[in-house]
Amino acid sequence: MRFSITLVLISFTHILFMADSALSANCVPEQDSLSGKSSADSVRKVDMVDYLVKIFKVKNPVEKRDNRKIRFALFPTTTSSGKTSFTSFNASFLLGGDATNTNISTIYFYPYIGFGGQYGFDVQSYVWYPQNRWNFIGEYFIHNYPQNTWGLGGDSPNDYETLIDYDHFRFHQKSMKEIWNHFSGGLGYALDYHYNIVVRQSESDSLDTYLPYSQSTSVSSGLLLPLLYDSRHNSTNPKQGFMAALTFRFNSPYLGSDDKWQYMFLDVRKYFSIFSSRKENILAIRGYYWTTLSGTVPYLDLPSVRWEPSPGQASRGIQQNRYKSNALMYFDSEYRFSITANGFIGGVIFGSVTSVSQYNTQQFLYWHPAVGAGIRMKFNKYSDTNIALDFAASKGFFSVYLFIGEAF
């Protein structure tokens, strides 16, 4: 069954890849750069900094901004769980080369604090060397993270809600070398260390079985084998291209892991320009499949909603950690459109569906849809970085999301 699902998703990947190739052959490449120049647009683009320049009467603002090699964004946002981040920092830059042959590199920094006692900081990095010869993707964080869980399976009842208090240290790093144009592969390392685990009394038999009250720590340490196809120019705000990422993780006691176990994560994303010759209106599609392959997986490392090992915002409108099992599938589509001609204000509407398997199977019996809409405000026109405010809901749950960039 797992092989059949993987085959279907790989076939879906191939179809989108062929669509991407066909569109690329018939479309003029869009300039995704840090230069800020837009020869195709007759209306001058503006961003939040332009308005601040007027307010504070900065001298020679265009010259100063044009000469910068690194583009920054600093804004209060929410974390993936919806908790408040009091500062979010984004830096976009070209690491040599130019925008015609080198993707834009981006680094995110999220220190945050939440009303539920959560606090910590996250760092995410996406670094491209000149001509995309090397690509480095990293995620590093330390959390104090009390969070609710509902046991395993797609139909876990609300009565199973249980608070788990724990600290979490993560170090994930992938290093990839270009093999062919847009395609790279390499090696990486992943460490997830959960400690100070405290579980309140639970009504869930699965929680009692897979996370005993006596367990205070869990360590998962292993190698990553990543493969990546990415024809996007700017991952902060993609307007074209196709991405498919396949990652295998192999945890082993020889590397310090408590148990030997493996997982696979397949993430596919495609972007279509529609209803506009200037590529201001985008249909973005995403799907991923995350499954354990073998071994005994610690409860806190099992596939779970909004914990996927991949950048972006997934399952908006569904509470983080609400569904957990040995396998998870997710599909999302989002329509992005401009509202003002100068590019300052835009909007999105989106819908998604999420499902986890019945535990220890590949049977996806329960599907959980979510819908939402949002506003985009151009924070930096040079890096094409937006401030995103999204409202999303599913059955019995509603949340607001504020973040830098796009959901995916």
The DSSP secondary-structure symbol of 343 reads S
Q: Length of the chain, please? A: 408
42 near 341, Cβ under 8 Å?
Answer: no
Which tens digit of pLDDT belongs to each residue from 337-381?
Answer: 999 888 889 999 999 999 999 999 999 999 999 999 999 998 888
For residue 8, what are its two tokens? 């279907």
Question: Does pLDDT of 8 surpass 50?
Answer: no
pLDDT band at 62 (very low <50, low <70, confident <90, very high): low
What's residue 205's pLDDT? 66
The reported pLDDT for the residue numbered 104 is 81
Q: How far apart are CA 153 and CA 174, in angstroms?
A: 30
- Residue percentage of the chain with pLDDT more than 70: 76
**pTM of the model as a whole:** 0.81
- 16 phi, psi to nearest 5 deg: -65, -35
Task: State the average pLDDT over residues 122-144.
Answer: 90
Distance CA 188, CA 193 (A): 17
DSSP, res 304: B
Q: How does DSSP classify residue 254?
A: G
Q: Note the pLDDT tens digit of each residue in 256-304.
A: 999 999 999 999 999 998 876 556 799 999 999 999 999 989 999 999 9
Q: What is the CATH number of the domain that holds 296?
A: 2.40.160.50
pLDDT score for 359: 92
State which residues form the domain around 334.
2-404
Q: Average pLDDT over the chain, rounded to whole?
A: 81
Both ends of the chain: CA-CA distance in Å? Answer: 28
Gap between the Cα atoms of 184 and 173, Å rounded = 15
Number of domains into which the chain is organized: 1
